[in-house]
Amino acid sequence: MSAPITEKKGGFDIRELKNLFGGGGSLKQFGILGALVVIILFFQIWTGGKTLQPGNIINIVQQYSYILILAIGMVMVIIAGHIDLSVGSVAAFTGIIVALSMKDWAFPWWAAILLGLVVGGLIGAWQGFWVAYVGVPAFIVTLAGMLIWRGGNQFIGDSATVPVPQDFQVIGKGYLPEIGPNLGFNNLTMLLGLIVVLILIGLEVRGRRTRKVMGASANAVWISVLRVVILGGVVMVAAYLFATGRVGTSFPISGIILVLLVVAYSFLTNNTIIGRHIYAVGGNKHAAELSGVNSKRVNFFVMMNMSVLAALAGMIFVARSQASGPFDGTGWELDAIAAVFIGGAAVSGGIGTVAGSIIGGLVMAVLSNGLALKGISSDLVQIIKGLVLLIAVGVDVFNKTQGRPSIIGLMTRKDKGGQAPTDDTTSTQVTPGGGTPDTAVPADLPK
C-alpha cells in the first residue's frame, strides 16, 4: 500500500532538495531553520547591517545562552509529555544559594557551581517524585514549584541583591582567551569553528554509511556535499564574526557551555537508551510500558534533568549580571517553552529535537535583539513575539494535519498527495467487530 516510489533517473532533481535537511540528518525542523535564516537576513537589512556585527552576535549569545540551555531540558520534558513552569524560579533559587555560598561561606567558584548543580538536582528529584511516583500532573507540580522556589529565593536572600565575585562571573561574562600568534582574529574561536565543521563532516559520512547498511538509497552525493558546505560555511562565517569583535572579546564562555550541552544532549536523546525511552514514553506510554520501559523512571529523569539545567542557567545569569536578585529568571519558563514549540515539538509529546529547540530559541533571540536594535518598545516586542509563536506553531500543526512534515515538503510537493494522511486510520477502522475490550486499557489521563 505504500506509495509507489517514482524515482527520477539521473541528473539534478530539485525535489531532492527536501533531503537537504530532512531524511537522514538530525535537523528535521528545516522549516524553522529556514525561518531563522529569513529573520536574520531581514534584520540584517532592516538594521543596516547591525545584526551580524561581531559585537551584536556576541551579545545575543551571552544574553540568550541561559534560555537556550533551558530549552534543551524543556524539550525533553515536553517530548515525555510534560511541562515545567518552575525553571525560572529554580534558576533564581539556585542563584541566591550559590551567591550566598561564596559571599558568606567563602566557597571557591568551582565549589559554588557544584553546590548549585546539587541544589538543582535535589529540587528536580523533589518535583520528579511528585510527577512520576505520585502522579500529580507536571503542570501542577511545577506551578507549585514556581511559587515555592521563587518564595525560597526571596526568603533566603531577604529580597535583596547578593553580588558574586569576579572569578565566578567568567561563566556568564567570560570569553575564550587569546592564544598563539596574532593573526587578526581570536585563534581559539576559529579553532572551535574548525572542530565543529569536522564534526559536521563526520556526522554526514556516518549518516551515509548507516543508510548504506540499510540498503537505502543514500541521498545524492551533491546533496551531502551541499549540506556540508552550507552548514560548514555558516559555522566558519559565524566563527570569523565571533573572532573579530572588539579587542578582548571572542566566543563567550557561556556559548561554549551551550555548545557542549547541545552536542551532549543531542547524543543523549538520539543515541542512548534513556533518550529512546523518553521518546517512547511520550509517543505511546502504554506501548512503551508493554515493551518493558519503566515510564516512571523516565518521567523522574526528565524532571530532575530539567531542574539541573535550570540551576546551571541560573548560575550563568547570576555570573553575567554580577549578582543574584529576587526577580531573576522571571518569565524564563515561557521563553523556553516557546523556543521548544517553535522548534517543532508537539504539545501531546513524543515529538521534538534538541537541535530544533535551539533553532526555535535563536528565532526568538534574533527577533528580540533585532527589534531592540531598531528601538521598538518592549510592549510591541511582546506582541510580535506572541504572534510569531502562534504562527510558527500554527503552520506546524497545519502541515502535520496535512500529513506533511515540514515547510520544504510543502514547497517541493508535486504529486497529488492525499495518500499519507489517510493511511494512518487504516487498520484501526478495518476492525469493525473488533476493538480492544475497553476495560483492558485504562483511559489515558489528560496531560
Sites of contact with another protein (CB under 8 A): 1-2, 5, 23-24, 209-211, 213-217, 271-274, 276, 279-280, 283-284, 286-292, 294, 350-351, 420, 422-442
Residues recorded for the chain: 447
Return the number of the residue (252 or 356) whose C-beta is nearest another protein.
356
Q: Three cell numbers at 240?
A: 570569523
Interatomic CA distance for residues 182 and 187, integer angstroms: 8
Contact 57, 247 (CB under 8 A): no
Q: How far is CA 288 from CA 1, 171, 256, 282, 300, in A?
A: 27, 39, 35, 9, 16
Contact 86, 274 (CB under 8 A): no
Return the number of the residue (282 or 361) whose C-beta is nearest another protein.
282
Q: How far is the CB of 271 from another protein (least distance, A)?
A: 5
Interatomic CA distance for residues 375 and 383, integer angstroms: 15
Q: How far is the CB of 266 from another protein (least distance, A)?
A: 13
Q: How far is the CB of 423 from another protein (least distance, A)?
A: 6
113: nearest Cα among 286, 354, 316, 323: 316
Dihedral (CA of 142, 144, 147, 149) sign: negative
Q: How far is the CB of 217 from another protein (least distance, A)?
A: 8
Return the number of the residue (237 or 260) whose C-beta is nearest another protein.
260
365: nearest Cα among 18, 50, 64, 32: 64
Return the number of the residue (166 or 291) whose C-beta is nearest another protein.
291
Q: How far is the CB of 118 from another protein (least distance, A)?
A: 23
Q: How far is the CB of 80 from another protein (least distance, A)?
A: 12
Return the number of the residue (255 or 275) whose C-beta is nearest another protein.
275
How far does the chain reach from its first CA to its final CA, in angstroms?
A: 34
- 178-208 in b/e form (b: 16+ CB < 10 A) is eeeeeeebbbbbbebbeebbeebeebbeebe
**3-class DSSP state for residue 376?**
coil
Return the number of the residue (210 or 378) whose C-beta is nearest another protein.
210
Return the number of the residue (24 or 245) whose C-beta is nearest another protein.
24
Q: How far is the CB of 404 from another protein (least distance, A)?
A: 13
Return the number of the residue (81 or 145) whose C-beta is nearest another protein.
81
Q: How far is the CB of 415 from another protein (least distance, A)?
A: 14
Report how far Cα 84 is from the mean position of its chain's Cα atoms: 14
